């Protein structure tokens, strides 16, 4: 697996363990009783939250946007939960464990999406949106074509992301807990359906919040316990890592990364723009009361995520210093048991014993469930609010009907996720994470950005450009080296690059601009004229969705 | 609502605020992108600079420090934007809205 692909997978959370565990295929599995016990505690607490949330969920606004009553701080933590998973911890630690500094690069680069999201999008998104990202563009564009394109793209995004998560999760959980793969899938499926169908966005947010807190505490504990072991000397820890690692001082230095400029640039751009326009993250901006809280939530999220990435600067090297030469964690050949991906897990045992190992395993499970729940509610909102209420019922659906359709969609998506998880078991699905990122960088980002910043954009331009981005993305991914070359066995791809994002982003932007410029229909003129009102609303918040009153 | 939008849009203070906000946003954007692409370009084209330890008694290299700095700078600039937006910009915004609501309709 190339390093760029690993980076993506890392960002997406849980696929890397899949790739590694699939190769490692642990033969003897023991039930991890401490981990199971702690996970049961998490389940009980999260179901308590769901029960509490269900009683507060009455309207569509409650169900899809938590009534707009989440604070900036809470939302920042919840976004952190959507963004970092335990597999990010395990994956980054694994990369640093194997390659040193080159692994660190993967802590730094994906973070770039955050400031961009803050400076360019956060306030405007909150002022224009309601429940889904399709609402933002419905302010001045034609409802049906825009919503159709965006909701279908959102579903492609959600399903692609879901497959990677479910397969990664099943393998990770069956290894950490010693339970069967299918059982793990079904447990995840049942939990997310309970959270989302009953507790809606309120339950999803609070479960995400609890999980983010647990993950940040767990990672902090690993980091500080390791530093304590080296008398609080970062230098001492690094020195010990350098003496343990076969590459010595090289682990502190950049190695052979970023050699192929087109791929590196394409992958970087995809992460930057795609990461700034993910529907399940952006829909969290609608759970806060106003733009002020939206900005605060980005700031808190950026701080927590940045803190998490800085912890990995210590954790990865601590794994080299404390795990690499410890016979407890090595197999007969002197290699780390379970593969490099277990580096953070072994480190947690090294610094905190079997009790803490159980805690980290339980956090890993909780993390996956929470991430999948976040994706499920994003998918459910695309179905109930965009497809059903706005397209199928032309905005005439009642609150009760929309909530009901949301619940049914959540149940279906949960069941669908389990089916996909079982269907794709033991297949190399890591490349699939390129699909959602290509979609968000080449469809959502160009449409959102141009609709907020360029008066000239019209419905025809946006829909044509978005469709070009989506279609071209799918075609180029199919013809690329991974699917056409490896999976279909043609040796190499017709299209030479693994990451078509650079090309699809440019194609999408150019099509939008050219088609909009050529569009002289009365509708286009009206849409351009409405830019002024939309602009005032996006800047001042006048006419923005207000929090629900209870 | 349309009349309200038109009135805000006709207020020079609104355009002044807008210009100020976007100047800050794009400046900070440029700052973040410089730090990022600086990091990536250094790795790609001048890796030797990043390989040097900070001083003789340490194994911490410039690359590690720059990497951590990129994360810190991003958080810092994000914070700077929120600080100004939630104080200065929101106050100016509130004043513009107040003026728009106070003016007689029509």
The answer to whether the Cβ–Cβ distance between A235 and B60 falls below 8 Å is: yes
Q: Give the nearest chain B residue to A304 (CA atoms).
A: B75
**Domain coordinates in residue numbering, chain A:** 3-427
The answer to whether the Cβ–Cβ distance between B8 and A532 falls below 8 Å is: no
**pLDDT for A107:** 77
Mutation pick from A253, A292, A449, A531 vs chain B, by most beta carbons of B within 10 Å, is A253
Both structure tokens of A261: 């400029």
Position B105 pLDDT exceeds 60: no
Q: Give the nearest chain A residue to B101 (CA atoms).
A: A542
Separation of alpha carbons A451 and A153, rounded Å = 17
pLDDT in tens, chain A (550 residues): 444 544 444 444 433 333 333 334 444 457 788 888 889 999 999 999 999 999 998 898 999 999 899 999 999 999 999 888 766 788 888 889 988 888 887 778 778 888 888 888 888 989 998 899 999 888 899 989 999 999 999 999 999 888 888 888 887 888 788 889 999 999 999 999 999 999 999 999 999 999 999 999 999 999 999 999 999 999 999 999 999 999 888 898 887 665 567 777 787 788 889 989 999 999 999 999 998 999 999 999 999 999 999 999 999 999 999 999 898 888 888 888 878 878 888 999 999 998 999 999 888 888 888 999 999 999 999 999 999 999 999 888 898 999 999 999 999 999 999 999 999 887 766 677 788 999 999 999 999 999 999 999 999 999 999 999 999 999 999 998 888 888 888 888 888 888 899 999 999 999 999 999 999 999 999 999 999 889 989 988 888 888 876 6
Tell me which residue in B6, B63, B71 faces A111 most closely, judged by beta carbons.
B71
pLDDT in tens, A109-154: 778 888 888 888 888 989 998 899 999 888 899 989 999 999 999 9
CB A341 within 8 A of CB A335: no
Distance from CA of B85 to the nearest CA of A (A): 8
Within 8 A of B33 by CB-CB distance, chain A residues are: 112
Measured CA to CA in angstroms, residue B86 lies from A458, A460, A506, B99 at distances of 32, 36, 34, 20
What long-range pairs does A238-244 form, CB within 8 A, spacing at least 24? Answer: A238/A317, A238/B59, A238/B60, A239/B59, A240/A321, A241/A317, A241/A318, A241/A320, A241/A321, A242/B59, A244/A320, A244/A321, A244/A324, A244/A325
**What burial letters (b/e) apply to A170-180, b meaning 16+ CB within 10 Å?**
bbbbbbbbbbe
**pLDDT for A23:** 39
Give the domain range for residue B24: 2-102
Tokens 């939530």 sit on residue: A297
Distance from CA of B92 to the nearest CA of A (A): 10
**pLDDT for A257:** 62
Query: Is the C-alpha dihedral spanning B11, B16, B19, B24 positive or negative?
Result: negative
Alpha helices by DSSP H, listed for A57-142, are: 60-65, 72-83, 86-99, 101-108, 113-116, 122-128, 133-138
- Tell me what the mean pLDDT of segment B17-39 comes to: 90
Tell me which residue in B50, B68, B90 faces A310 most closely, judged by beta carbons.
B68
The answer to whether the Cβ–Cβ distance between B81 and A306 falls below 8 Å is: no
**pLDDT for A459:** 95
Both structure tokens of A428: 């190399």
The answer to whether the Cβ–Cβ distance between A119 and B82 falls below 8 Å is: no
**pLDDT for A428:** 67
pLDDT in tens, B64-77: 999 999 999 999 99
Separation of alpha carbons A25 and A338, rounded Å = 8
Q: Which residue in A290, A298, A270, A294 sits closest to A83, CA to CA?
A: A298
Both structure tokens of A448: 């959102």
pLDDT in tens, A297-352: 999 999 999 999 999 999 999 999 999 989 888 888 888 887 887 888 899 999 99
Within 8 A of A264 by CB-CB distance, chain B residues are: 40, 44
- Tell me what the mean pLDDT of segment B8-35 comes to: 91
Tokens 């331009």 sit on residue: A461
Separation of alpha carbons A325 and A244, rounded Å = 7
B94 touches chain A (CB under 8 A): no
The answer to whether the Cβ–Cβ distance between A254 and B71 falls below 8 Å is: no
Tokens 């999803």 sit on residue: A204
Distance from CA of A373 to the nearest CA of B (A): 27
Within 8 A of A101 by CB-CB distance, chain B residues are: 50, 61, 63-64
**pLDDT for A430:** 67
Separation of alpha carbons A5 and A2, rounded Å = 5
Within 8 A of A299 by CB-CB distance, chain B residues are: 78-79, 82
B72 touches chain A (CB under 8 A): yes
The answer to whether the Cβ–Cβ distance between A112 and B67 falls below 8 Å is: no
Q: Give the nearest chain A residue to B67 (CA atoms).
A: A108
Within 8 A of A541 by CB-CB distance, chain B residues are: 93
Both structure tokens of A89: 């911890």
CATH number attached to the domain at A3-427 = 1.20.1730
The answer to whether the Cβ–Cβ distance between A119 and B26 falls below 8 Å is: yes
Number of domains in chain B: 1
Give Cα A323 distance to the centre of its chain. 29
């Amino acid at each position: 697996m190339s390093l760029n692909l690993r980076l993506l997978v890392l960002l997406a959370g849980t696929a890397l363990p899949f790739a590694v565990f699939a190769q490692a295929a642990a033969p003897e599995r023991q039930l991890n009783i401490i981990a199971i016990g702690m996970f049961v505690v998490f389940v009980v607490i999260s179901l308590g939250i769901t029960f509490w949330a269900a009683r507060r969920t009455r309207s569509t606004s409650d169900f899809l946007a938590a009534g707009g009553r989440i604070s900036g701080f809470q939302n920042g933590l919840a976004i952190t939960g959507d963004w970092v998973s335990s597999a990010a911890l395990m994956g980054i630690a694994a990369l640093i464990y194997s390659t040193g500094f080159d692994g660190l690069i993967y802590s730094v680069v994906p973070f770039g999406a955050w400031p961009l999201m803050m400076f360019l999008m956060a306030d405007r998104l909150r002022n224009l949106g309601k429940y889904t990202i399709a609402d933002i563009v419905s302010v001045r564009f034609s409802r049906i074509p825009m919503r159709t394109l965006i909701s279908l793209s959102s579903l492609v995004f959600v399903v692609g992301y879901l497959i990677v998560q479910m397969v990664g999760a099943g393998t990770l959980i069956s290894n950490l807990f010693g339970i069967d793969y299918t059982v793990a899938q079904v447990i995840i499926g049942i939990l997310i359906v309970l959270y989302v169908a009953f507790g809606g966005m309120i339950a999803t947010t609070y479960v995400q919040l609890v999980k983010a807190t647990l993950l940040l505490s767990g990672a902090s504990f690993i980091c500080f316990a390791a530093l304590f072991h080296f008398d609080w000397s970062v230098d001492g820890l690094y020195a010990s890592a350098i003496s343990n690692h076969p590459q010595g001082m090289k682990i502190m230095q950049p190695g052979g990364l970023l050699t192929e400029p087109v791929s590196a640039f394409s992958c970087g751009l995809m992460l930057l723009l795609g990461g700034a326009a993910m529907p399940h993250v952006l829909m969290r901006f609608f759970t806060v009361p106003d733009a002020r809280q939206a900005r605060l939530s980005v700031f808190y999220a950026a701080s927590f995520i940045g803190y998490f990435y800085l912890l990995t600067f210590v954790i990865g090297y601590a794994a080299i210093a404390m795990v690499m030469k410890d016979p407890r964690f090595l197999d007969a050949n002197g290699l780390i048991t379970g593969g490099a991906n277990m580096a953070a897990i072994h480190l947690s045992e090294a610094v905190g014993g079997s009790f803490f190992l159980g805690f980290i395993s339980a956090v890993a499970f909780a993390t996956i469930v929470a991430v999948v729940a976040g994706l499920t509610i994003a998918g459910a909102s695309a179905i109930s609010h965009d497809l059903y209420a706005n397209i199928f019922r032309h905005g005439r659906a009642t609150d009760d009907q929309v909530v009901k359709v949301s619940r049914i969609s959540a149940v279906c998506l949960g069941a669908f996720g389990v089916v996909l998880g079982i269907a794709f078991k033991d297949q190399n699905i890591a490349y699939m994470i390129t699909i959602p990122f290509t979609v968000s960088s080449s469809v959502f980002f160009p449409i959102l950005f141009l609709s907020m910043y360029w008066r000239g954009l019209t419905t025809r331009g946006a829909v044509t450009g978005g469709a070009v981005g989506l279609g071209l993305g799918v075609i180029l991914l199919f013809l690329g080296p991974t699917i056409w070359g490896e999976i279909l066995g043609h040796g190499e791809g017709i299209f030479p690059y693994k990451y078509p994002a650079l090309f699809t982003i440019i194609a999408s932007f150019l099509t939008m601009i050219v088609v909009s410029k050529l569009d002289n229909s009365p509708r286009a003129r009206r849409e351009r004229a409405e830019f002024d009102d939309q602009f005032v609303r996006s800047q001042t918040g006048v006419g923005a969705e207000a929090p629900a009153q209870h | 609502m349309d009349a309200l939008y038109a009135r805000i849009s006709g207020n020079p203070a609104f355009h002044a605020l807008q210009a100020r906000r976007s100047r800050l946003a794009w400046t900070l954007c440029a700052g973040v992108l410089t730090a990022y692409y600086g990091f990536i370009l250094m790795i790609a084209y001048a890796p030797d600079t990043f390989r040097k330890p900070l001083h003789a008694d340490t194994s911490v290299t410039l690359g590690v420090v720059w990497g951590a700095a990129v994360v810190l700078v991003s958080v810092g600039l994000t914070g700077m934007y929120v600080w100004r937006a939630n104080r200065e910009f929101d106050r100016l915004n509130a004043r513009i809205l107040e003026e728009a609501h106070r003016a007689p309709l029509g």
